[in-house]
Chain A
Amino acid sequence: MSYYDKPEQPVRDSRLVIGDSYTGTACGALDCAKSGCMLQQGRRFWQANSCQMALSLMMAATIENAVIVMHSPIGCGSSLFGLTPGVTKGNVKRGKAPKQPIWLSTNLTEIDVISGGEKKLRETILYADREFRPEIILVIATCAPSIIGDDVNDVVKSVGGQTGAIVTAIHCPGFKSRVVASAYDAFYHSLISRVPLEPIDYRDYNPPERADPDYATKIRALAAQKQNTVNIFNATSIGLADEQELTRLLNAIGLNVRIFAEYCSVDELRMMSFAGLNVSLCNVHDDYILKYLQEKFDIPYIICGMPIGFASTKAWLLEIAEFYGLADRARNLIASEETQVSEAIAPFLPKLAGKRVLICGGVVRTSVEAVFLKEIGLDVIAVRAYHYDDGADPVISDLADSLDDTPFAVSNQPFEMVNQLKKLQPDITISHAGTHGFLAKAGFVSVQLWDTDKPFFGYSGIFQLVRRLVFAQRNDSYTKRLAANVAQPYRDNWFERDAYSYITD
């Protein structure tokens, strides 16, 4: 039985080689993963972080005409208030209604924890269906029901016949994996398991009639249309500006583009299998669904890093173009785009030459961007990746080739980051969302590693990133004043010790 037929996806810890605690170099990390030591490592001290449920919610909240049912105690969905403004904005930017995500909590109480929450879940799903008439109900299966043994899948299956909405479950108990990226698989598994991914005749498209004298031509046309359609998979950190830039580039070499799965409706999701090629934007996002689409619908896929910077954008575009025999067209496009953007960034580069950078966040984004920053003349002095998984090996290898003795750590821990920053004192810190507040309080000017409001990918991304790096260096008085007036929670002697001294074997 493959993963895809099971009621619940495996967490990444059991599907891939993963890790969350490492210090050394990029090359060393690859060795450590091969020898198995990556799996063994942990920490004697941890600070609160995210979980696979939190990331699952970020994706679930974007699905159109959905109601989210949190099968959990009252608190688990409360981060959705923080996600609401971004989702509403994301909808508006895509020309969709400015709806706020709606969610219901099954509000598990002590009695439910003792006697089981299945009945309550069933009734909540039915209530959600009748009250809000959504197209899809996404049940979020959290820690508590997982520990008490609620059979969420059984409820979802048995209630399905009584609802107007499609009902599916995202299995994402936080305790099951410290690797937050497991959420991508959990989210995609919820689509794979219960959401139709095939277009319906006469609803989504008109199939050619056999009696039609042009039947053969129309069949060929339909097949060509399908073949020339490329699906691109977004997720959480990838915003509309990036989707538009990549669509522009692929359109320019003659391909159609569809974007999945965030900000899709159930109707749009059905078109997922009407494509000639599936393309990833990040090695650790979507291999789970791309492999499924290949297995089930025979659609090949490409996972080729993240199109940030000259080399990666080129490689990403060429890989797709070569699949379609459009490499020459792509090379012309790339040459023209590179010339234009090189001219555009030329005035900025002297202001960045030799600047010392620390970069922190998702493993693929940080690795790819670090290579790019070196390429344009910056001095990358440290890379901190939030997790390791062997899917990212190709980009970590590139990093190892480009920056062979640069410190590389696998860490999402603020105490380690601030310690390292105090010692290295970089000119520029590029970091993940959620860190900029404590970085500023510790006295470090930081630049967003990603922001769904801004472009990062392709040529537009190159220009905007360079522009932002220069912009960030102008006027640091906010950070200086803030840091001078805010106490750090760490004891002074922490900064005399090695930043990664709490990592254990």
Chain B
Amino acid sequence: MLAEFRDYLTASLADLGDVVRFLMRLLVNTPRALLRGDLIIAQIYNAGTLSLVIIMLSGLFVGMVLGLQGFQLLQRFGSEEALGTAATIGLVKELGPVVTALLFAGRAGTALASELGLMRATDQLSAMEMMAVDPIQRVVVPRFLGGVIAMPLLAAIFSMIGIYGAQLIGVQFMGVDSGSFWSQMQASVDLEDVTEGIVKSAVFGVACSLIAVYEGYHAMPTAEGVGQATTRTVVTSAVVTLFLDYLITAMFL
């Protein structure tokens, strides 16, 4: 039992080391990949623009739920005016970055992993190597950077839409005063709260994109292998996101 746990631990550590080495490889290749703006734009499109609808819809509903729940709770204390503060803090610091990262893993991460896995399975990556084109630089790094750039923007859009969703419920339906909704929010939300959210989404962007391209690039070249890679992408991204969320929250305290 103890030995099993120790083996598991060493295996996980080795995996982590492998991922970090992969990240280094990506970073080394980043300067040259940056010269190919067209490739990165295409990947921002894939990771960002194509995720926009799901992010905006989810943001709206999460915001509306916050508006409803927050109102019910705050009403008991007679301070419905704090709804703007509560919803904004919740969205900007936690729900925005975390839910965006989870949705990103499900929408863009799986797409990345399966795309790379299929390219591996159909020899497209080897073919590039044989054409003296480094697939890391040509294929993997642009996808990684696209995700890294898209994530903070997606999280910000999520939070913004969410705040308007909370405002819609709180102000339009529940009758919270619009002026105090906004002025209380502005008085009690610090720039540091927003910074924390941005830092989180940036870190999640690196983590989720890295996991997706790592799993895809190292997928076993079979249909089953590609399936496993996409599954692992979602599961690992979710766990890592929540773990990092705790870590960053603790750091900002």
Q: Do A and B bind each other?
A: no
| A interface residues, Cβ below 8 angstroms from B | none
Q: Which residues of B contact A (CB under 8 A)?
A: none
